[in-house]
Chain A
């Protein structure tokens, strides 16, 4: 069975700082990888996804993620965060099936 680890549980950044959130997965076969975001009071929304091809994928709102197969990682990045990026971020994986397995999430707070 697949599993996902997000090592940063809480991150606090100032506006314009760069962001990198770690995500490692455990699964021996082909995986599909996702990042979801949950803004305060809102439902989970898809930020970006990776299936195949270019390991650097770009999502909405300037976010990107890089799939590094050798490291079983799919880290989320943004060069310059904004106050409106304050949210909880979840990494998720599917492997050999249809269901998404989520990490425990990273709570990001961006201060003005």
Chain B
């Protein structure tokens, strides 16, 4: 078990470009979560999946953001037409069914939009 893996670790992109991040959860975890964290703030919830179904999306997730988990395993988060305000750390976490277990977080992808 290598934990939750996120790629890439860092991404620098020009404003207006599209970016995609990948998250590989712990294999036996059927829940997967995406969070965003900016400097001086705690992680903010973006969306979560149970298996391949996206069950909840935050209002923070504008139309430019889309997330998928096509086979209930890895997930991708795409940001279209990036803006400077999208610069943040994007965190992925996974858990078994049932919040009692807490989440296991990945190391995150740091996005810088220039």
Interface residues of A (CB under 8 A from B): 4, 6, 9, 32, 34, 36, 42-46, 49, 51, 90, 92, 94, 97-105
B45 touching A46, Cβ below 8 Å: no
Contact A43 B103 (CB under 8 A): no
Bound complex: CA A44 to CA B42 (Å):
11
Q: Which residues of A are found within 8 Å of B33, using beta-carbon distances?
A: 99-100
B91 interfacial by beta-carbon distance below 8 Å: yes
CB-CB < 8 A to B28: which residues of A? none
Closest CB in chain A relative to B56 CB, distance in Å: 7
Which residues of A sit under 8 angstroms from B21, Cβ to Cβ?
none
Q: Which 8 A-B pairs have the closest CB atoms?
A: A102-B42, A44-B105, A46-B102, A43-B107, A43-B105, A99-B45, A102-B43, A104-B42
A85 to B31, CA, bound (A): 30
Q: How far is the CA of A9 from the CA of B39 in the complex (A)?
A: 12
Bound: A104/B43 CA distance, A: 8
B85 within 8 A of A: no
A105–B40 alpha-carbon span in the complex (Å)? 8
**With a CB–CB cut-off of 8 A, which chain A residues contact B104?**
46
| Cα of A51 to Cα of B105 in the assembled complex, Å | 20
Among candidates A6, A43, A49, A97, residue contacting B102 with C-beta atoms closer than 8 Å: A49
A106 → chain B, closest Cβ, in Å?
10
A43-B107, A43-B108, A44-B91 as given contacts; A101 in contact with B102, CB under 8 Å = no
A104→B40 contact, CB < 8 A? yes
A42 to B35, CA, bound (A): 16
Q: B99–A98 contact, CB under 8 A?
A: yes
Task: Determine whether the beta carbon of B45 is less than 8 Å from that of A101.
Answer: yes
Nearest CB of A to B85, in Å = 18
Given contacts A43-B108, A105-B42, contact A99 B56 (CB under 8 A): yes
Complex: A49 Cα to B104 Cα, angstroms:
13
Using known A-B contacts A44-B91, A94-B99, determine if residue A99 contacts B48 with beta carbons closer than 8 Å.
Answer: yes
Question: Are the C-beta atoms of A97 and B100 separated by less than 8 Å?
Answer: no
A104 engages B41 (CB within 8 Å): yes
Say whether B103 contacts A46, CB under 8 Å. yes
